[in-house]
Each structure stands twice: as structure tokens, then as C-alpha cells.
Amino acid sequence: LAAEHPHRPRVHYTPAENWMNDPNGLVYHDGEYHLYYQHNPEGNAWGNMSWGHAVSPDLVHWEERPLAIPYTEEEHIFSGGVVVDHDNSSGLGTDGEAPMVAVYTSAYTERSEHAGIQAQSLAYSNDGGETWTKYEGNPVLDIGSGEFRDPKVFWYEEGGYWVMAVVVADERVVHFYRSDDLLDWTKLSEFGPAHATGGVWEVPDLFELPVDGGAGGSKWVLVVNLNPGAVAGGSGAQYFVGDFDGVEFTPDRLVTGDDPPEGEVFADFENGYGDWEITNDLDGTGTEGPFGSAPAAGTLPGQQPVDGHRGGHLMNGFVDGDAPRGEAASPAFTIERDYINLLVGGGDNPRSDTGDTSVNLVVDGEVVRTATGRDSEHLDWTAWNVSEYRGRTAHIRVRDDASDGWGHVLLDHIMFSDAPARSGLENYDWLDHGRDYYAAVSYNDAPDDERIMLGWMNNWDYAGDIPTSPWRGAMSLPRRLELATLDGRPQLVQRPVDQLASLRGDIAYSHDALPLDGGERRLPPRAEGEVFELDVELDPETADEIGLTVRQDGTTGTVIGYDARRSRLFVDRERSGDVGFNSAFPSRSSVAVDPGATLELRVVVDTSSVEVFAEGGSRVLTHRIFPGAEATGISLYAEGGRGYARDLSVRPLNPYRD
């Protein structure tokens, strides 16, 4: 271990070398948990997609196995699932043994007769998942689409047949199919588009879970991964709770994303720019500036309909080549309410270093707040708390400082309000509110009917630039899922699997009630470490904010904080170590938590990740971080009053590998 790259995870799975993305073929069989995964056997970047393979007796100790299903020149092996065909319904078993059958997506290359098509294919193993043979009749399900992928197959007990959930990614639709033998598939129904649609839908999953341990009956959960357009930006996983009757999935609730706050409309751009002042040539070069292209209602040039759109926009950008700088400024106003809520879309091009494109609040000539959109395909609320500027004169401006013309912002609506608007995306259900939990999918046939899920700890926003070698990509900890009634409806609750306990060392530090009274309180050296589990109950008492910083040295650290005034839990990795490899990486993610008195957290820190499970696992935030190896400090803080870190304990986690 000592000779390894300092960011090679010790309690999370990574291959020893080369690229990895989605988990595939998660199945428990004969005492082994199999983890197949999207893998490039020849390099540390995405490509040559094949299935890598690892096995574990307990979901914690992983052993890498030989490449399972290699790509060919005609066919790349995209994501999919594995089932154990217990009754040999497929006839692919030998000697009366149950075969393992992989249902994967064939992504055909230009060398194939099916060039441009994605279709579902089978491979089978009669040696416990080690070696695989492709089925001769492949593909088994082809609808002539180039975006048809990521089948997840399971045995539907009530009906006595196999069910497949699979996406048509660009249409944001899940298709359901059934089969008696895994070879012939009949379409049952479709679900979608629904809820978050700001990106393609990928990697679906469908399973049944008891509600409140069975006291509330059971419900079906449909997981849909989405990229980009997730709640924390870029890739993420949303889910729907509902019923599956063997044919159709029906969600219990569908909400509209748009959640307009109460308040006073300051600008809506329904009728053009009103009395806003447009300066289209800040550089004075005499060239036409970036503002002025107000798109037709609901559309962006050449793009998808804009989600949550309600009328006109003030917009700039989409100018090719060199663009002059410009700005649009509102008339001056006096700040009289606590919040300015803005409906914003678009975004800065992460690949552009020439300057920012953003919406700013200017008070006395100084920029005091900034907002940008999440992505180009939908609008979302941003809430500025401006209570400290009450009574001051201000104006809002949209400014394009990028000279390469790629950044763009859409400003749809501005409201002066007494409360913050919630992002429309926050009205939906998400598996994780951090930036690095994608392609999440669950195990088939896990013992004791447990539902165990894991995801790729990454985000397509910057996955290719993650600064590790000779491997790139890591899996999350496996999580056990349950449905619990929260806020009057069943929601997913997730905890790291109990088996993680086998890696725990002795408690290195604990405290019943550590008082925090302004400033930071660093824990003693015996608490410090690179890889550990920390439990705490944050009691803000009179503080506005209370939290902790992990993987800390003099200048860097990852902050996990509870903003008690706004009842939000956040993870801030803006100064977490190496953040410069991609400008989309530094970020602060947050989630609404119960306004209750204390916030209970379990934090699992590895060499290059932080997973935060809050409120018994009903809120989760997962992030990669790249701190220096010497950044091992842990400290706690409270701001604006006195708080307590209660029932605090820190224990080292031992590596699963030698």
C-alpha cells in the first residue's frame, strides 16, 4: 500500500489499473457478490468498453478477477445486468446447472453490420461468472435505436417471468419488457419522460421494497440515472416510488418542477428587456455584442424545450468564435425583502478560461452575489439571501466576460420574496445530493431479501480528468436500501452495509458533548487519519452554522456543515486539495434537512472520497476529493453562537487489500 498512489481508495473498489465507469451485473451467487463494471482494458480513459470483474464474500473485501467480457472491433460491451437462471429457462446451462446470464448492451461500432445501433444481447457463464460466452442469437432485443441501452433484468416472482427495464436514453423513457426464457422479449409498457429530464436517462433499475419494515405494505422503486441535469449538477440518480403490476409502473406522485416563490415580480422579460440597459460592446471594439437573442417561448436555439420555462428570457451567448463582452443592467432598486429569487438557466462553459458569464447583484458598485445556470437545457431557481443589504440601493446585471463566446446565461424571472425559492429539481426524489453518485444500480438475489446498491463515484462533468493513475474510477460503498415513511410518503433510506464494521479499528477519539463556541476546534492527533468513519450529532443550539472539516491541513479541507438557519446540510470541496484539474470540479452541494434541533451524521472518509449519511440515511451526499496525503486533520466549528458536537466518535477504517 505504501508504494501506491496516495488517492487509491482503501475501503472502496477500484481496479488496479485502467478506466472504470458504471457498475454492471451486480448479482449474488454461491456465496459471492459479483461486481462487473464498464472497463477499458487498455487504458486510463473511457473506450474499448468491456466488462471488468471483481468478487467479494462480504461486499467489503474485493478481489479483482480476469476481464469478463472483452470488446471486439464490431461490438462494445455497454452496461447491463446479470441474472442467475435458476431453472435454466434459457437452456444455456450445462449438466443441469443454473447458468449465469448477462444481459448487456451491444454498442455496435462502424465496423459492424449494425453500425450505429444499440441493442440488448446475452452472454452466459457456466463457471460461476468467471468466463463468458456470447449467445449465438445476439442481439436478442433490437428496436433500431442508437440510444437503447442499460438493461436491468430481474425475476418477477408474482408473474413468474423475467422483467427488463431498459432506457431509450435521448427520449428520457424507460421501456419494460417480459420474457419466459431471456431470449424472446415482449414489450410491456413505457414510463417517462417525468421529473428531471435535463439530460439523457441511463441505467434504470426497478425493485420492490417493504415500507417501514413491512408495516406499511410494500412499494416499487424505479431508479433512473440522468446525465446531466441532476440536482447537484451533472450526473446523478433520481427515483420514483410507486406500483408495478407486472405490466406498468405507476408513480405515487408526479410533481411539477417549477416551484415559484411568493413575492413581487421584479422582471419577467415577457415583453422583451423592458427598461434594462444593454451594453453590447463593453470592449469598445465596435463589434456586435452578446445580448439580444431572446428565444421563442420554451426553446433554446437548436436545443431541448426548456424545463420550467414561463415566458421570455434575457439571454446571451451561443455566439461562435470571438465574442465581445457585454452586459445588461436592471434599473436600480432598494432592497426591502430578505431574498432575491432568480430563475436561471444556461451555464458557463467549463472548458472556457476566458472569463465568466453570470448574473450578479451589485450593491454600491460592488458585486455581492453571483449566479449561473446549471445547464443549457433547463431553468432553475437560485435564491440570494440579501437580508444584510436591506435598505441599500442595488441593481442586477447579467454580464458576459467570456471572450470566446461559449458561456451563456438565461435569466427568466426575478422575484423579491420573504423566503428562498427551492430549486425545482429539489422537489424530486434523489438517491444522493452530492456530485459523485452515478449509474447506481442494485444487486439481484442478495441474501435475506436485502436491497444493496452501489454507484460509480463520479460525474461525467469531469470523469475523464480525475487525477489518478494507473487507474481511474471508483465505486461507492455498497449501501443497504430501505423505504421509510418520511414527510408522509415512502422515501429511500440508505446506509453503508453492516459488513463495513469488519474494517473498523478501535475508537480513536470520542466525546459526549464537545462545546463549540466560535472558531475551529481541532481534534487531537490520535483522531486524525486518511481513512475513517466519524459519527456525530450536530447540535447548533444558538449557532447559525455548525460542522466539521475533514482531510484538513493548514490551507485545505473538506467542509461538512449544517446551516441551521436555513436547515441545510452542505459539503463544500472548493478547497479540498487538488481541485484544479477541471473547473467543474470545485463545488458546494447541499440538501434540505429537517428543521429539527440536531442533525445526526455518519461520515465515511477514504483517501479520495467523502460519503455523508445524514438523518439515519434519508439524505446522502457523496463526493470525490483529492487532498494531500498529509491533510489528515479533523476539526469542528460553530459560527454565530454556541453549539455542541454530541456523541462524537472517530474510528479508523483498515484497508481491505494487503
CB of 523: closest distance to ligand FRU in angstroms?
38
Nearest Cα to Cα of residue 571 among 516, 625, 521: 625
CB of 567: closest distance to ligand FRU in angstroms?
33
Looking at the Cβ atoms of 71 and 124, the one nearer to ligand FRU is 71
Looking at the Cβ atoms of 46 and 333, the one nearer to ligand FRU is 46
Q: What is the C-alpha separation between 46 and 456, in angstroms, rounded?
A: 14
Looking at the Cβ atoms of 78 and 637, the one nearer to ligand FRU is 78
Looking at the Cβ atoms of 105 and 358, the one nearer to ligand FRU is 105
CB of 202: closest distance to ligand FRU in angstroms?
4
Q: What is the C-alpha separation between 299 and 504, in angstroms, rounded?
A: 53
CB of 335: closest distance to ligand FRU in angstroms?
44
Looking at the Cβ atoms of 402 and 439, the one nearer to ligand FRU is 439
CB of 351: closest distance to ligand FRU in angstroms?
20
CB of 470: closest distance to ligand FRU in angstroms?
19
User: With left for phi above 0 and alpha for psi between -120 and 50, is residue 324 left, alpha or beta?
Assistant: beta
The answer for residues whose C-beta is within 8 angstroms of residue 77's C-beta and 6 or more apart is 49, 50, 51, 69, 70, 71, 104, 105, 106, 107
In 288-402, the DSSP E strands lie at: 314-315, 326-329, 333-334, 339-347, 357-363, 366-371, 380-385, 393-400
CA angle 613, 619, 621 (to 5 degrees): 65
Q: What is the C-alpha separation between 388 and 370, in angstroms, rounded?
A: 16
Contact 380, 230 (CB under 8 A): no
Number of Cβ atoms within 10 Å of the Cβ of 69 = 26
CB of 76: closest distance to ligand FRU in angstroms?
8
| Residue 453, burial from CB neighbour count under 10 angstroms (0-12, 13-18, 19+) | buried
CA-to-CA separations, 185 to 118, 140, 182, in angstroms, rounded: 16, 7, 7
Looking at the Cβ atoms of 169 and 527, the one nearer to ligand FRU is 169
Q: What is the C-alpha separation between 658 and 656, in angstroms, rounded?
A: 7
User: With left for phi above 0 and alpha for psi between -120 and 50, is residue 172 left, alpha or beta?
Assistant: left
CB of 24: closest distance to ligand FRU in angstroms?
8
Nearest Cα to Cα of residue 408 among 454, 338, 348, 493: 348
Provide the 3-class DSSP secondary structure of residue 180: coil
Looking at the Cβ atoms of 202 and 338, the one nearer to ligand FRU is 202
Looking at the Cβ atoms of 38 and 330, the one nearer to ligand FRU is 38
Q: What's the grid cell of residue 56?
A: 467479494
The answer for residues whose C-beta is within 8 angstroms of residue 189's C-beta and 6 or more apart is 175, 176, 247, 248, 249
Is position 22 annotated as part of the catalytic site? yes
Contact 648, 49 (CB under 8 A): no
Q: What is the C-alpha separation between 183 and 135, in angstroms, rounded?
A: 9
Q: What is the C-alpha separation between 493 and 93, in angstroms, rounded?
A: 37
The residues binding ligand FRU (CB under 6 A) are 21-22, 38, 49, 78-79, 105, 149-150, 202-203, 439
CB crowding 76-109: b at 16 or more within 10 Å, else e: bbbbbbbbbbeeebbebbeeeebbbbbbbbbbbe
CB of 199: closest distance to ligand FRU in angstroms?
11
**Count of alpha carbons within 13 angstroms of residue 218, beta-carbon side:** 8
Looking at the Cβ atoms of 22 and 426, the one nearer to ligand FRU is 22
Structure letter (DSSP) for residue 283: T
User: What is the set of active-site residues?
Assistant: 22
